[in-house]
Amino acid sequence: MTVRTRFAPSPTGYLHLGHAFSALTAYHFAQDHGGDFILRIEDIDHTRCRPQFEQAIFDDLAWLGLKWETPVLRQSEHLTDYQAALDRLRDMGVLYADSRTRKGQAEAALSAPQGDEVAETTPAPPAWRLSLDAARQHLGARYDALKFNDNPARPEINGDVILGRKDIGVAYHLAVVIDDARQDITHVVRGHDLFDATHTQVLLQALLDLPTPHYTHHALLLDDEGRRLAKRKGSKSLQDYRNAGLSPEDIRTMLDTAPKAQA
Ligand code: GLU
């Protein structure tokens, strides 16, 4: 088996040190196993993604010394595939329409890494939710046996997540499992902030007859005050460091010595 890892950023802002850590962790995992490293652009949310952020991802990762397979898969170019999977799940009877307000939907939704954070109170077009009850019925005994690595998968911790959105078509969970399978990813190496998401993704893999890769969730980098780094909180971007004259080697040293936490 050839090991294949991926780094799958969403171009909704400039990459910060946390992204660099994630990308390098996945990259070195592949290298250590004589495997392949894939870069995937997760840009289904056209309301938040910007071309300049995508370009910056390529520039920043190349500057750090990473190399990846080309052409790079851009999720925005595969929307019909995600839609087909959504239709398949609907035909299977495991989706239901939710016409609550956007705020109501958002409050009930898992705070996925992109999207689902809408705060308006206006009536929303129906969203399509995954029914865990229907999924359990559909899978029978397989539902209780779901697992990743040695962890039992417990999709209940996320509840009935939104998989179909009128504004952008599909939600993150669905696109990510389709592409991890399409790209033959054997090892998903990503931050611990996505550990909970894995429970739902493993269920989707079972429903769609997709393989479950091995998952590694690495510790998250913290800032000097012990908070998680985040684009929206104004953490310094890799470009900021580059413009300030730091080298890729300086960045690697910072990553090695930065405080880290599991959640
Ligand atoms: N696109 C997601 C993000 O930027 C990451 C998806 C993943 O690694 O599974 O947060």
Does the structure show a pLDDT above 90 at 230? no
The answer to whether residue 72 is domain-embedded is: yes
The answer to whether residue 262 is domain-embedded is: no
Range of the domain at 187: 4-257
The answer to whether residue 97 is domain-embedded is: yes
The answer to whether residue 43 is domain-embedded is: yes
Name the domain count of the chain: 1
Mean pLDDT of 222-239: 79
Question: Are 38 and 190 spatial neighbours (Cβ–Cβ below 8 Å)?
Answer: no
Please classify residue 45 by burial: count the beta carbons closer than 10 Å to its beta carbon, then call 0-12 exposed, 13-18 middle and 19+ buried.
buried
The answer to whether residue 247 is domain-embedded is: yes
- Residues 11-63: tens digit of each pLDDT: 999 999 999 999 999 999 999 999 999 999 999 999 999 999 999 999 999 99
- Residues 131-179: tens digit of each pLDDT: 999 999 999 999 999 999 999 999 999 999 999 988 888 999 999 999 9
The answer to whether residue 263 is domain-embedded is: no
Q: Specify the residue with its C-alpha closest to ligand 1, atom 7.
A: 8
Q: What's the pLDDT band for 115 if we cut at 50, 70, 90? A: very low
Neighbours of 256 (CB within 10 A): 8
Do you know the residue count of the chain?
Answer: 263
Does the structure show a pLDDT above 60 at 110? no
The answer to whether residue 151 is domain-embedded is: yes
Q: How far apart are the first and last CA of the chain?
A: 31
Which of 4, 6, 37, 42 should be mutated for ligand 1, with most atoms under 8 A from CB?
42
What CATH number is associated with residue 167? Answer: 3.40.50.620
Residue of 9 and 123 predicted with greater confidence = 9
Q: Specify the residue with its C-alpha closest to ligand 1, atom 2.
A: 9
